[in-house]
Amino acid sequence: MTASKNNPAETSTGQEIVSTRLFDAPRELVFKAWTDPNHLVHWWGPNGFTNTFHEFDLRPGGMWRFVMHGPDGTDYKNENVFVEIIKNERLVFDHVSGPLFQAIVTFADEAGKTKVTFRMIFKSAAALERFKPIIVPGNEQNFDRLAAQLAKMV
């Protein structure tokens, strides 16, 4: 499995970060990596991070609660509420612990490969500017880790 960095993370508005990547894997497999906690736990987050999932209720209104453990030993509690799930096409969740944002993830088939678009819409431009230096490279690392997980899933 390879992933091409055909469109690195970019800010498209004052409140939005958009990251895209083309993965050499079928859409069903990529969607599974995003929605099956047994796979997601292994790749979510930037390099060096690990996760402990406490709740993963994949349905509209369901919670995804977890702690990201940083390489320096810092724990980052995260709470998300799923808004929309369209199998193999779209996943929407609200990150309800700071910073506040909505994530919209789309999965598009491109000749047997999958283009993932990860859109983060922040509640304020100030929040985006504060976290952008961490999130932009973090999203790229996250995609790298997803590619490695997809290779294990084949």
Taking only the tens place, the pLDDT of each residue in 91-130 is 999 999 989 999 999 999 999 999 999 999 999 889 899 9
13: confidence class by pLDDT, cuts 50, 70, 90: low
CATH superfamily label, 3-153: START domain (3.30.530.20)
14, 57, 43: which is closest to 141 by C-alpha? 43
Q: Is the pTM above the cut of 0.85?
A: yes
Per-domain boundaries in the chain: 3-153
- pLDDT higher than threshold 80 for residue 2: no
Mean pLDDT in the chain? 92
